[in-house]
Amino acid sequence: ALLPVALLLLSGCSATPEFKDPPLVDHRYTADPSAHAWNGRLYIYPSHDIPTDAPYPDEGGRFVMRDYHVFSLAQAGGAVTDHGVALDIDEVPWAERQMWAPDAAKKGDDYYLYFPAKDSQGIFRLGVAHSDSPTGPFTPEPDPIDGSFSIDPAVFEDEGDYYLYFGGIWGGQLQRWQDGRYSAEDRYPADDQPALMPQVARLSADMKSLAHPPKAVELLYPDGSPIVAGDNEKRFFEAAWVHKYQGTYYFSYSTGDTHKIVYATGSSPYGPFTYQGVILEPVLGWTNHHSITEFDGQWYLFYHDTELSGGKTHLRNIKMMPLQHRENGRIETVSAFRR
Ligand code: FUB
């Protein structure tokens, strides 16, 4: 968990790093913030981290979350309201453990919460729950979304259509799905072969099912070739997010074991997306996970680090900071630390 700070120190900054932004809340641990501006208010759908002594193998066994709380703000920098439990794992018939990073969508006056959890077989699936309020409580469907798998759902609305992005390697199990079928064996491509790509499917009109089987989202180098599995600085790990700026689609994601949030751009919500650069440098803590949303005419990056827990990777806190798109469409690289 201290690796990102060690890197910072090695990169020439000798003083103890100072955090740029305060945690948005400090009365509970929160992570993976998916933010949306709806009805003139900012709503944040994070994971709810809880303490545990569970071992911390590569499969993310310490992320033992069991419920979701929704948070909201009337203005950036203003008071943050915790709206209480929006969904508890005991209400989801198929879910047994590990409610990881969620997202939400608004369609008319209906709100949908999308979330991953492991079923009784230990397999990650994606669930959906409905509410007539952005803050819940949400009523879950009795079964996972048919055809869904892996983790980190993110929903992007474009011209009346809704697209569900998802996937994560290692603990997120994407490497166990080939041709839409699960196999308990981890199968990774060779380092010089195309990396495992995130998944996308358009949602059906009911927002509770996929309109077609998931497709791979192609992430490319500027020369048009696919990003390869051995390129840990650029290949997809988890935490997909899509936003649109001046007609261009921005696909951003975490590089996992190199701890960055990076982005690629394209001209369709299905991709392909061409790699552009780093949005957020490593934070304190192993995981890096974000969302990007415009609110009151300003774009913001929502992210997490482990300031409150003093570096415990499974006990994180959500934060936000302004994000700048440059005139050429590039995004300004930011750090969670002051330099
Ligand atoms: O919060 C659990 C997992 O950690 C998320 O699903 C990943 O994106 C990582 O942030």
**pTM to 2 decimal places:** 0.95
Residue spans of the chain under pLDDT 70: 1-15
Best residue among 152, 236, 312 to mutate for probing ligand 1, ranked by most atoms within 8 Å of CB: 152
What pLDDT is attached to residue 15? 61
The answer to whether the CB of 184 falls within 8 A of the CB of 200 is no
**Ligand 1 close to Cβ of residue 49 (< 6 A):** no
Q: Calculate how far, in angstroms, residue 101's C-alpha sits from the geometric centre of ligand 1.
A: 5
pLDDT in tens, 72-119: 999 999 999 999 999 999 999 999 999 999 999 999 999 999 999 999
Phi, psi (5° rounding) for residue 257?
Answer: -75, 0
The answer to whether the CB of 318 falls within 8 A of the CB of 31 is yes
**Ligand 1 close to Cβ of residue 152 (< 6 A):** yes
Length of the chain: 339
> Is residue 106 exposed (0-12), middle (13-18) or buried (19+ Cβ within 10 Å)?
middle
ipTM: 0.98
Q: Calculate how far, in angstroms, residue 84's C-alpha sits from the geometric centre of ligand 1.
A: 21
Tokens of 78: 């203003």
Q: Whose CA is nearest to atom 1 of ligand 1?
A: 100
pLDDT in tens, 138-159: 999 999 999 999 999 999 999 9
